Amino acid sequence: MEFIDLKSQMKRIRSDLDRRLTGILDSGQFIMGPEVGMLEGELSKYVGVKHAITCANGTDALQIALMSLGVGPGDEVITTPFTFIANAEAIALLGAKPVFVDIDPHTYNLVPEQIASKITSKTKAIMPVSLYGQMPDFEKINQIASQAGIAVIEDAAQSFGAEQNGKKSGAVSRIAATSFFPSKPLGCYGDGGALFTNDDNIAVQMRLIRSHGQKTRYNHVLVGVNSRLDTLQAGVLLEKLKIFPDEVQKREQIGLRYNQLLEGSVQTPVIASGNLSVFSQYTIRVKNRDQVVDALKTKGIPTSVHYPQPVHLQAAFKHLNYSLGSFPQSELAAQQVLSLPMHPYLESQVQDEIVAAVKAVAISS
């Protein structure tokens, strides 16, 4: 059994993909070929924003977003400690300080009500992560940000395709950043990422930063990075985007079916009202995680833990002087969360097998 079945997906698009990639190989335009611009057009249409700017990966996307706002040494950026390292990493790489806000134990997203007390004169932005495929309450977050006169950057790495009150993830904040890492809801066959904004000036800045601050050839107007999406990966994404709306539907159906089958046995993911989740992960919560992992492994069912250690307790961020107890909900979630196989090609029969195996051993948290 696969944790994420990319093979079935590839089978579905293989002939179109072969044609597309062969075309790129024949063209020889491997950097910024026409497919990159085509993809950016398709992405902005899909998300419903004015500008989509592709880049080399999701972590770079976060960094480019921060750079476009001028975030640098001495600045602070508010984010969640219950996420992948990339958020705090991008902030710290620019010499700024990640300031954490604890999560809601049911949605695993940061609690907007806790943001205001963390805002100081040094705060430049709020970077919420739309974890496991659903967005935190952006109406509240945007309101807090606009009162403080700071920007919101959505980390949409796990939520591309998700919706909140009819708006797509990527379209609800000043800037959004996503990742096309192969296991993300929309993934390529290598590294890739994108940025979204409706702000013309920020779009210009981000485009410049993505490619060495280069305005015209060998004319560099600011210090940027080298972070372009390969033409070949743009080709892969163009083909995958065609089937993506159908995959999002399937993801939602499968996620909600898991919820139905597991309700009452373990803590299932709570989808906040107004939200459509793409279930980038299907993550339950159990008291006896090691036991559940082992029992499923003997049955050939793969699982994964997103994430076993909150960011504030990582050795890399020792210098921030956080300790156990700083963010209790994130710390407890890190001990109890467990992600089950989740992808658009998961058959009901296989899902039933997984559910039965979980129910046989899991102790509800």
Ligand X SMILES: *Cc1c(COP(=O)(O)O)cnc(C)c1O
Positions in the binding site for ligand X (CB under 6 A): 57-59, 83-84, 86-87, 129, 155, 157-158, 179, 181, 191, 193
Torsion angle of alpha carbons 180, 184, 186, 187, nearest 10°?
50
Burial class (CB in 10 A: 0-12, 13-18, 19+), 79: buried
Distance of alpha carbon 80 from alpha carbon 128, whole angstroms: 7
Nearer to ligand X, 162 or 357 (CB): 162
Least distance to ligand X from the beta carbon of 43, Å? Answer: 15
DSSP-assigned letters across all residues of 95-113: T-EEEE-PBPTTT-SB-GG
Q: Which is nearer to ligand X, 128 or 341 (CB)?
A: 128
Distances (CA, A) of 202 to 144, 205, 288, 346: 21, 5, 47, 40
Give the residue at shortest CB distance from ligand X: 58
Instruction: Please give the Cα distance from 238 to 218 (Å, whole number).
Output: 30
When the beta carbons of 108 and 258 are compared against ligand X, the nearer one is 108
| Nearest residue (CB) to ligand X, 104 versus 351 | 104
Half-sphere exposure of 180 (CA within 13 A, CB side): 29
Cβ proximity to ligand X, 86 vs 354, nearer residue: 86
Taking the least distance from each CB to ligand X, the nearer of 59 and 303 is: 59
Residue 283, Cβ neighbours under 10 Å: how many?
A: 25
User: Minimal distance in Å, beta carbon 324 to ligand X?
Assistant: 23
Helices (H), ranges, 48-164? 58-68, 86-93, 138-148
